Amino acid sequence: MALFFSRDLDGGATVSVWEIVESEEELLSLCSVPNDELEELQLIRSIDRRRERLAVRALLNQLFDGKVYLGHHDNGRPFLQNSLIEISISHTKRFAAVLTHPDDSVGIDIESLDRNFSAVEKKALSPYEIENLSEKNRNLHLAIHWSAKEAIYKRMSLSDVDFAKQIEIKRFSPKEEGELEATFIQKDGEELEFELQYEVFEGHVMAWLIG
């Protein structure tokens, strides 16, 4: 099994990461997959995408006693059909990540730093955020911005969010790990303040928030 780490956080949350080193067949043997998910998997042509989905399922089997059933809200946010525990999920070709909390809404995102994040600057950052970008570590800085905004988007469980106008990350210097302050601006102008954590490991960046 390839549980990379599982870490208890303040307030009862748990963040867990699975390194996807198994074949599709090995992952199938490791986890119990509900029939509806198996049918969905058969429709996915990409082997890598199927392995990512199965790694999430293997991770869920590690975290929960008994079979858990995943549902999805209209905007794609997952929830557990047979549990009140709050959950957020993200995955790349190499890692699957799950964040859980018994009560509070959560959001997590993981991204590979092999990706070129230059497009993020144009479509997801405000002029304020662009002005504060690091020239030396620009791709990492962009990746952390994007991962944090994705985590907030998942936590909010809303559709049609303008990342550049509605999610603002306060100025920060990119490090191997750290805290972020962010504001989410509702369509009616109401502002919500969030604190996030982020971590860089194995050529990936992961950001998450609780509450």
pLDDT of the residue at 159: 83
Are 121 and 133 in contact by the 8 Å Cβ rule? The answer is yes
Q: Which residue has the higher pLDDT, 81 or 177?
A: 177
Q: Domain segments of the chain: what residues?
A: 3-103, 110-210
pLDDT of the residue at 32: 83
pLDDT of the residue at 75: 76
* Beta strands in 131-190, from DSSP E residues, in sequence order: 167-169, 177-185
**166-176 pLDDT tens trace:** 999 999 999 99
Task: Output the CA–CA distances (angstroms, integers) from residue 66 to 18, 78, 90, 160, 168, in the order listed.
Answer: 19, 18, 22, 35, 40
pLDDT of the residue at 77: 85
**87-127 pLDDT tens trace:** 999 999 999 999 999 999 999 999 999 999 999 999 999 99
Does the domain formed by 110-210 have CATH 3.90.470.20?
Answer: yes
pLDDT of the residue at 38: 87
> What is the mean predicted confidence (pLDDT) over 39-56?
93
Reported as a pLDDT band with limits 50, 70 and 90, residue 1 is low
Say how far apart CA 94 and CA 155 lie, in whole Å.
23
Q: Which of 39-53, 139-153, 189-203 has the lowest average pLDDT?
A: 39-53
Q: Return the bridge partners of 184, or none.
A: 167, 192
H or E stretch at 91: strand 86-91
Under DSSP, is residue 186 helix (H, G, I), strand (E, B) or coil?
Answer: coil
**50-96 pLDDT tens trace:** 999 999 999 998 898 877 888 888 777 899 988 899 999 999 999 99
pLDDT of the residue at 169: 98
State both tokens at 165: 């106008």
Say how far apart CA 100 and CA 155 lie, in whole Å.
12
CATH superfamily of domain region 3-103: 4'-phosphopantetheinyl transferase domain (3.90.470.20)
Task: Output the CA–CA distances (angstroms, integers) from residue 142 to 16, 30, 115, in the order listed.
Answer: 24, 36, 11
Reported as a pLDDT band with limits 50, 70 and 90, residue 33 is confident
pLDDT of the residue at 147: 98
Same fold, 3-103 and 110-210: yes
Amino acid at residue number 117: F
> Considering all CA atoms of the chain, what is the largest pairwise distance in Å, rounded to the nearest integer?
49
